[in-house]
Structure 1
Amino acid sequence: MDITAKRRSRRDWIVDTCLFLSAAGLALLTSGERLLITMPQPAWLFGLDHIIAALGCASLWVRRRWPVELALVLIALSTFSEFVAGAMLMALFTVAVHRPPRVSLLVFALSLVAGVVFVIVRPEPGVPALFMWLFGTTIQSAVTGWGLFIRHRRELVLSLRDRAARAEVEAHLRAEQAQLRTREAIAREMHDVLGHRLSLLSVHAGALQYRPDAPAEDIARAAKVIRESAHQALQDLREVIGVLRAPVGELPQPTFADVQQLVAESGQAGMRVDLHDETGGAVPDGVGRTTYRIVQEALTNARRHAAGADVLVSVTGSPAEGLTVEVANGERDAPPGHDGTRPGQGLAGLAERVALAGGRLDHGPTASGGWRLTAWLPWPHDDHAE
């Protein structure tokens, strides 16, 4: 702990003043007692003691800069000066507070040795030397122990502060990760929703482009579908962006019952789609929402890459077997890439969605030149709603 890196605060001034006054008061008290009992011999030692005590007390003002050095000097002086004992005790306290326990205990041991030297050099008439040494040892032990306690308490407070700061940083990182996951979920949702709507727009716009001589009724019908699909795409976009504002769980989500409407919309757009629903029971909301996204992505890809092909959507399952979703389309009868779209990351995102639901996803070409996408989802028995 660096005690010289910062300027002395008001609290530091108060503490230093109190320690100085305590050391000076103890020196004066000892001097008064010495006048009432036996004066030291030779007589000049009494005056020298006062000078040493004054210098020792004054040196406490630099105890923060050189705590160990000052303590060693005062310990050496305490081997023959009794009035410097107060300043020496304050130096022991400073070392215990500001230096590691190993250093503090070493300095404390030297002070005990100095006590032995003092009782030998300046024995007190009528008082056993062992008693005097034990008395001084008790006081020195109490002061050093108090300083070690304060140091430990300060380290504990700093440790708690550091732990709180780390916890705050970790909480901030967790919040950022949660935001990132939310953004990824929003991006996936926007791909699923808008990809379906925009593919409908692309189909009808492509039909108008390749058949500019179509009857006026067909053109009007296609324009109506384009307008309605564009309006619905805007509505879907508003709902998806609403995730950023609405609390979790408040945004309306598709369910298994909406799969039939999804297939109907694709049929209105000119696709030949058949739906076979052979589910044995009410499909849970979570599984139904994933099923909807699977069918939505599969129909979107079929419109993009196999325009004009027949599409079969099959949903089978039960609580005991799980739910199987299969979307298969035949060989396309329109030119590849007629709508100008390029393959995206829809299947990768769909595989991640299915994996998060605990299911499996398989897809690939068929022997007849078409494409099949198959997914299996677990059917929780207690998952009635999310």
Structure 2
Amino acid sequence: MKLSHFDYELPDELIAQSPAARREDARLLVHRLSSPDRAQHATVADLPQLLEPGDLIVVNDTRVRRARLAARRTSGGRVECLLVERLGDLVAGGAVGSRSLWSALCRPASRLKVGERLVVESGVADTPVAQLVAIEREQRADGGPGPHWTLELLDADGEVPRDDEALVERIGDVPLPPYVERAQGPDDEDARRYQTVYADRLGAVAAPTAGLHLSDALLARLAGRGIERASVTLHVGPGTFRPVDVEDLGDHPMHSERYDVPGATRDAIERTRAAGGRVVAVGTTVVRTLVAARDASGLPRIGSGATDLFIHPAAPERAGLDVVDGLLTNFHLPRSTLLMLVAALVGTERTLALYREAVEQRYRFYSFGDGMLILP
């Protein structure tokens, strides 16, 4: 399968720069696989009527870390660091010998030097609030420098922080996607709206955006209609924004992300299936998790793991999509792995036809945009 099969034209003004006033006010393009030539136009608020009692929605309960740090070199140059993943555990209370080490993307990465100390400053009078020490640069398989650095996080006094996660949440900015433009940087409202209402387990650097449409009130209405909810965790990494840049999809190096499937979620899926209900994934991250964890019975294995599955229409992993019956998702970037996953479920030509219809109907695209519901 070729990369060029996943192109579509999108006017810049349809890239949403802010979310709908209320989460469930987002528009919803409904596509039923049993009626491939028709689409229904609704809103996310209609979801309880679009689903049936006995259905199960599965959400991703990852929590987005305020992982973007603005730092200054001793030379005065500016460096932006995105703390992608914590490496090892810091013992609470700053135990002797503990270190707060992180895998990070830094910009510009090429100018950093091993051992260099960066000062993280707040926006108020450039007050130092933390320090970052460049430990080593990741090496690619071919021996060249990779994009990631290992950084050590220290407090403003150069000491091991007593609670490094709390420090990052206090000094960092929410890592909005690159296509969401903020001249003054993200604000508190961005931090609230770029987080699902059920976010629980800290570790993502990007939101599972389909879940941004679900409010507490809407979840209560779904429950009142007899639609159950279960959770998985997949910590979304920066690779979710990485475009595919090779023409042959089989040559694309897929990023890896960590996931966890609780026993209660496997039980809920098994119970729903036995009763004839449908399993509807809220977001491509949930699909990726359930397919990666799927066992021979068609149910997800309980426990944690990491997945680098690249699910596209020609991938053998496409067979595992029977673990879900439906999908609530956003409108994704051209040539993205997320668009290709949707195409694996719907079909490439039909997916692009739906995207063209969404453009014609002036739907809003990407993370803060509108949604699409795929049902049997």
TM-based fold match above 0.5:
no
Q: Which has the higher helix share?
A: 1
Specify which structure has the higher proportion of strand: 2
**Structure with greater contact order relative to length (CA < 8 Å, sep ≥ 6):** 2
TM class by shorter-chain length?
under 0.3
Q: Please report the TM-score for the alignment, with normalisation by the length of structure 1.
A: 0.21
